Amino acid sequence: MIKWLFEIIDTFGEPVELRINNKTKTSTSFGWFLTLLTIISLLAFAWFIGNDIINKEVPFSFEQKLITNNYPRLEINSTNFPFAISVTDFNNVPLNDDTFLKLNLH
């Protein structure tokens, strides 16, 4: 804590830098080549992705098949009326609390 406080208050401290020929940064032909290769690669990638998005040559599609069971037709009358109710929480776990819901059918 005290060392951190002295580092903040110190006005005579100088940052340590490595300098070559009075420069903090050096450039080489290999560095230029890698920079140019990176820029060309990014532009080519952006070109191909942009063309795909704009021209829609390879559209993205999603298909989902829902397989349902075919039950026989049920004729509803006063003696066979199927009715179900469920109260669940946010995780679809049934809430079995009589103080919360009570259903009487007569």
pLDDT digits (tens, 9 = 90+) for 31-78: 888 889 999 999 999 998 888 777 776 667 778 888 777 778 777 777
Secondary structure of 11-56 in HEC code, one letter for each residue: CCCCCCCCCECCECCCCCHHHHHHHHHHHHHHHHHHHHHHHHHHHC
Q: What is the pTM of this model?
A: 0.38
Cα 85 to Cα 76: distance, rounded to the nearest angstrom: 18
Q: State the Cα–Cα distance between residues 95 and 103, nearest whole angstrom.
A: 13
